[in-house]
Amino acid sequence: MRFLKRKKIERIEQRPPDQRLHDEFQRFEIEILRNEKLEIKKKFKIVEALYKEAVALGVFPLKDSLEGLEVDIRIAKGINSVSKDT
């Protein structure tokens, strides 16, 4: 286990500084999420607050929920038509 961590750290250290910072932040964030245990009521309060913020910013409710669907379908068709071997 220590060997794998050491290898991962070595890979991170070889990356450019901006990517290293991103990786370190991700490790920090994952560690917090693992150690933080929230009750279901607290989780619902967080989701509700995020929803209210989205409404205040004008993101929700969507004006046209199907807007952009055609583009998404065309992109998905293009991606799915590409061979997995290429």
Three-state secondary structure of 66-77: CCCHHHHHHHHH
Total number of domains in the chain:
1
- Asked if residue 84 is part of any domain, the answer here is no
- Asked if residue 56 is part of any domain, the answer here is yes
Domain containing residue 45 = 2-79
As a whole number of angstroms, the distance between CA 71 and CA 77 comes to 10
Can you give the pLDDT of all 86 residues of the chain as single tens digits?
A: 455 556 666 666 666 666 666 777 778 877 777 777 878 898 899 899 999 998 898 877 777 777 778 888 998 988 888 876 65
- Asked if residue 85 is part of any domain, the answer here is no
Full-model pTM: 0.38
